[in-house]
Structure 1
Amino acid sequence: MSHYDLYAIGNALVDSEYEVSDALLQKMGISKRHMTLIDTPRRAELLAHVTHLQPRQTGGGSAGNTVVALAQLGGKAFYSCKVAHDNLGDFYVKDLQAQGVDTNLTHTRASEGQTGSCMVLVTPDAERSMCTFLGVSAELDDAALHAQDIVKSKIYYMEGYLAASPTGLSAALKGRQIAREAGVALALTLSDVSMIQFCKAGLDAMLGDGVDYLFCNQEEAQVWCGTEDLETIRSTLKKLAKIICLTRGPEGSEVLTADQSWHVPAEKVKAIDTNGAGDMFAGAFLYAVTRGYAPNQAATLGNHAAAAVASQHGNRLTLGQLSAIKAYALPPLK
C-alpha cells in the first residue's frame, strides 16, 4: 500500500510578492512573465527598486506549491528540498509542517549559506515575473532524497526548474530511477519557458523514455514544439507522456492521452495575479487522479483551483477555500 500520494523534489523558495507597474518592471530590466535566475549583487540591485513597497511573504517554489495544494485537499505528500539554518529556512520548514507536508528538512539542512528566495513582481495585467535567488537550493543533491519514501508513493513529481542545477538535476534523476524501478508513476512540469530555452537537455533527461504525467502551459508547449499550431503541439506532446495537461489560461485546459482528449473550460474570473496558478492546477489534478477520478474530472478541479489563485493576490489558497472548491468541482466517487 502506498504511504504517500505524491513525492516531489524541487527548489525551496520563500516568495516575496510585489505589485509593480510595467514601467517599473522595465526600469528594473526584467523579462516579463518569465523566471530569471539572479545572484547576490543583482538581488540587491532589484531590491533597491522596491524599498517603498511592502511585499507579501509566503512559502513558495513550484513543486512546494503543488505538494501544499495536494495536502490541503486531503492528500499525503512528501517534499525533498534544501534550505539553510536562517530565518527564511525556519519560516519554510514551519510552513510545510503547518500544511501537513512531510519533508527531509526535519533531518537535513545546510549548515551555511542562505535559503533561496524569489521576488515575484505582479503587474496590473495579472502577469507574474520572477527573479529567483536559489541560495543553498542550488546545492540540492541526492542527500535530500528519501528512497524509502519514494518507493511508498503513488507518484514521483519532478520540478523542471531543477534542470538549471547540475546537482539538483542529478538528484531528480536518481529519484526518478528509484521510482521507476519501484513501479511508481512519474510526473514532470516543464516549469518555465526559460528552462526550455536554456536547459532543455536537463528536461529531456527528466523525460527520459517518457513519463506518466506532463504539465505545461500553452507558451511552454509552443516553445518546446517550435510552433503555435495546436494540432502539431498536441501530437508532439503525446509522444512524451501517457497523460498531458496543457493549461491555456482563459481557454481552460486540455488533457491528452494516446486515445482520448478532453477540453475542460476555464472558470470565468477576473485575473489579478497568476503566480502559483499552474502549480495549483498540478496539485489539484494529482490529488484527484490519486483518488480515482478520471483525467477530465481532475482537470475540472484543477481549473477551479487555479482560477481561485489567479483571482487573488498570493500563490496559495486557504484550507477552507480548497475544501469548498473540492465539494463543488468533484462529484462523489461511486
Structure 2
Amino acid sequence: MKRTVVCLGELLIDFVPETNGQALADVPAFKRAAGGAPANVAAAVAKLGGASRFIGKVGRDAFGEHLRQTLEEAGVEAALVETDEARTGIAFVSLREDGERDFLFYRSPAADMLLRSEEIGDDWLNDAAVYHFGSVSLVAEPCRSATLDAARRARGLGAIVSYDPNVRLPLWPSADAARKEIMAHMPLADLVKVSEEEVEFLLGKGSLEGARELLAMGPSAIVVTLGPNGCRVITATSDIHVAGTPVAAVDTTGAGDGFVGGMLYQLASRGISAETLGDTLRDPVNCGEIFGFANRVGAITTTRRGAIPSLPTLAEVNG
C-alpha cells in the first residue's frame, strides 16, 4: 500500500521578525526560517512520523543548502534540483499583533520557478499516496507546466491529488490573473483546502455556497478552514463542522500548511484512496478524527515562530 505524501512547489527562506506588531519598514531584525507552503506540508507530515517527499528547485547557494539540510533534518526526502540559473527565493514576513502576516517576496525569478517537467523523475511519483501542490508554483513557466504535469502523472498512478490555492496576490500580475489561473485547475484535484477569505476572493460567495460551486468542478471534497473555529468538510451530500483547538497564537506562519500536513498524514496512514475519499469524508466519525487531528497540528504551529521550526511532532499533537 502506498503511504508517501509527495509535495511539489516553492521552497524558500522566510525572514520573520522576533516581535509582532511592526510594519516591515520598522522591523529592526529578522530571524531566518525555512519556508514555502508545499515544503511546510511535507515537513509537517514527516515530523508527525509519516513518509514525505518534497520536489522542488533551489539555487546552488548557501540558502539552498540550508533548505536541503532543514528538510532532511525534519525527515523529508528532499528530491531537489539545483541550479545556477537563479538564486533561492526569499520572503520577508511582518507579523501583526494578532499573528497575521504581510509578505515581501524576492523572486525575479527564484530558483523554484524554473523547475521543468523533464526534471521530475517517475520514481519521485510512483509511490505517492497523495500528491499535493499549491498555486504559487502556477504563477510562471516552466514551473506551472511541471506542477500540472506531475499532478496528472500522479493521478494516473492512483494518488489522491490535493490542492491548496494559498492565494499570494503580490506574486501575480493581477488579482484577475490569479483568480483565473487558480480556478482553472480545480478539476485536477480530489481534495481542495481553502480558507473563508480565499473562497470569497475566488468566487465572491460565502464558504458553503462557494464550496458547492468548487465541488461541481470535480473534487470529491472541499475543506474550508475557519481559523480558531476549526474547519468545514463539504462533499456532495454532507457538510461537517469540526471544532478547532483554542491556543494563544504567536505567529500564524505555516498554520494552514500544518493543518494540511496533519490532514494528509491521516489520509495516507489510513490507506484512503482517491476512490474511497468521498465516502470516508462523508462520515462524521472519520471527519472528527482526521480533521480534529489536523486542527490540533495547525493550532500548535501558531504557538511558535516560523513555519517548519514550529511544526509539532506526533507526541505533541496526541499529548
Aligned runs of 1:95-106 on 2, under 5 Å?
Answer: 95-105=70-80
d(CA) in 1 for partners of 2:176, 2:251: 24
Alpha-carbon offset, residue 233 of structure 1: 2.2
**% of aligned pairs identical?**
24
| Match among 216, 220, 245 for residue 239 of structure 1 | 216
Alpha-carbon offset, residue 178 of structure 1: 0.8
Contact 2:293 2:317 in 1 (8 A): yes
Contact 2:133 2:147 in 1 (8 A): yes
d(CA) in 1 for partners of 2:98, 2:202: 25
Q: Give CA-to-partner distance per residue, 1:193-245, whole Å, 9 cap, x none.
A: 526643233323432x3421101111001111212x34312322332421221
Amino acid of the residue matched to residue 300 of structure 1?
A: G
Aligned runs of 1:47-66 on 2, under 5 Å?
Answer: 50=27, 52-53=28-29, 55-66=30-41
Q: Give CA-to-partner distance per residue, 1:54-106, whole Å, 9 cap, x none.
A: x221211000000000011111111111111111011011111111211222x
Alpha-carbon offset, residue 318 of structure 1: 6.0
| Match among 227, 232, 239 for residue 249 of structure 1 | 227
d(CA) in 1 for partners of 2:99, 2:221: 29
Amino acid of the residue matched to residue 12 of structure 2?
A: L
Q: Which residue of 2 aligns with 1:127?
A: 100
| Distance of aligned partners of 1:84 and 1:168 in 2 relative to their CA distance in 1, 3 Å threshold | same
Q: Gaps (5+ residues) in structure 1?
A: 29-48, 329-334
Contact 1:104 1:144 in 2 (8 A): no
Q: Which residue of 2 aligns with 1:301?
A: 293
Counterpart check, 1:202 vs 2:194: no
Moved more, 280-289 or 196-205: 196-205
Counterpart secondary structure, 1:312: coil
Counterpart check, 1:109 vs 2:88: no
Contact 1:8 1:79 in 2 (8 A): yes
Normalising by structure 2, we get a TM-score of 0.86
d(CA) in 2 for partners of 1:267, 1:317: 20
Q: Which residue of 2 aligns with 1:12?
A: 11
Q: Give CA-to-partner distance per residue, 1:305-330, whole Å, 9 cap, x none.
A: 111111222213567x42224424xx
Contact 2:301 2:307 in 1 (8 A): yes
Normalising by structure 1, we get a TM-score of 0.82
Counterpart secondary structure, 1:199: helix
Q: Which residue of 2 aligns with 1:149?
A: 124
| Distance of aligned partners of 1:90 and 1:23 in 2 relative to their CA distance in 1, 3 Å threshold | closer
d(CA) in 2 for partners of 1:153, 1:269: 33
Amino acid of the residue matched to residue 91 of structure 2?
A: C
Structure 1 residue runs of 4 or more that deviate by more than 4 Å after TM superposition: 19-23
